[in-house]
Chains A and B, each alone.
Chain A
Amino acid sequence: MAARFASRLSHVGRSVFGGLGNISSGSLRTSLDSTWNNFLSQQQQRTFIQMRTVLKVVDNSGAKKVMCIQALKGKKGARLGDTIVASVKEAHPNGKVKKGEVVYGVVVRAAMQRGRCDGSEVKFDDNAVVLLDKQGQPRGTRVFGPVPHELRKKKHLKILTLAEHIA
């Protein structure tokens, strides 16, 4: 998809250049530069999980989607392994958690890369959260998908034992 967009951009650039040969190359170059910058920043710059971020719920507590209303740690937002306060936006009809409830959760998958102490970085394809209670224990009994090592340091050992795969 990105490649097709890029080829379309280059086609446009070439035709424009051919048609407007009279215009000084300076102005044309700036417009081409801006398009090039757009092209280069096509790679999405993933960022923190902040207010209004919708996350997927990956346990069997009953909720399907939650929206973050507060990142408990961090000025800019929550990262992998941080806890958040969220509001349930979508839920299974008969589950422990109902729509509109305010819940706590821990981010188990984040699209923003998280650096590890040995210089490696890990990033997932989506944002996912596991709901917790006030004490930090998971509310569900199963966790789906991979979870990162970082949870061990944050003392979410129960989630690690329930997980399918530890990334």
Chain B
Amino acid sequence: MASKVLPQALFITPRSSNQWPPKKLGLSTFPSPRSSSLNLNRLSTSRFSSNSFAFHFRPIVVSPKRFFIVRAEADNEGELGADENTEEEETVSETESEVKLDAEDEAKPPRKPRVKLGDIMGILNKRAIEASEKERPVPDLRTGDIVEIKLEVPENRRRLSIYKGIVISKQNAGIHTTIRVRRIIAGVGVEIVFPVYSPNIKEIKVVNHRKVRRARLYYLRDKLPRLSTFK
């Protein structure tokens, strides 16, 4: 183990006199056994402890002791670990992987579930919906419901506009879930798309329900106006 580590020490110590940032890259491109290079990568991408480790090779003789003490106190911080102490040379070693495993074993029980990339939008949407539900609960809306919506219009801040009509479609998109409401107003058919969780909507009330056998009632556009009229 020590013999394998030696060439790494030989490579590192001359370079320690140069600038530090390029050396970090040099660490990762070592012609050393793959496991140790992986360790090096992990080292270069891990936390502050790796920075301090990479920057000061001279005082590293002191720091292993520090790391050892740290490991006793905090599991995660001490991942660079106790085995440094056993090393004569001030380098990374394969034992680091074992130390990391030990640290992880100790840390496993309280570990939080990792958030996957694909779930992030779902989680954000759910949070936004919960926040909006707290302000104003949204009833369960389905196509065919006759609803009455009280809307606050920024231009007409004096009183709330009331929109009544039949829900002809509902598009589910998380926080931008919308319903399309149709009504005949003053002889002309009007369709308005409302985002259900909008803060401008002050109240949604389901007044009635019409039996429909479809999810989207676009056929109402071609039918008699009588079918889209609601008092």
Contact = CB atoms under 8 A, between A and B. Distances in A.
Interface of A: 1-3, 43, 109, 113, 117-126, 128, 144-146, 149, 152-153, 164-167
Given A2-B219, A119-B195, A145-B185, 13 more contacts: A1-B219, A1-B222, A2-B218, A109-B188, A119-B198, A120-B193, A122-B190, A123-B190, A128-B188, A144-B186, A145-B186, A146-B190, A152-B155
A123 B165 CA distance: 14
A164 B186 CA distance: 7
Given A1-B219, A149-B153, A149-B156, A124 B190 contact: yes
Nearest to B156: A149
12 contacts: A1-B222, A119-B176, A120-B195, A122-B190, A122-B191, A124-B191, A126-B188, A145-B187, A146-B185, A166-B161, A167-B190, A167-B192
B31 interface: no
A138 B156 CA distance: 22
A140 B186 CA distance: 19
Given A3-B219, A149-B155, A121 B188 contact: no
Contacts of B195: 118-120
Interface in B173-203: 176, 178, 185-195, 198, 200
Nearest to A121: B193
Interface in B106-163: 153-156, 161
B221 interface: yes
Contacts of A120: 192-195, 198
Nearest to B184: A125
B172 to A, nearest CB: 15
Nearest to B218: A43
B124 to A, nearest CB: 17
Contact of B155 (A2, A124, A126, A153): A153
Nearest to A1: B222
Contacts of A113: 191, 193
Nearest to A122: B192
B188 A146 contact: yes
Nearest to B197: A119
Contacts of A2: 218-219, 222
Contacts of A152: 155-156
Nearest to B221: A125
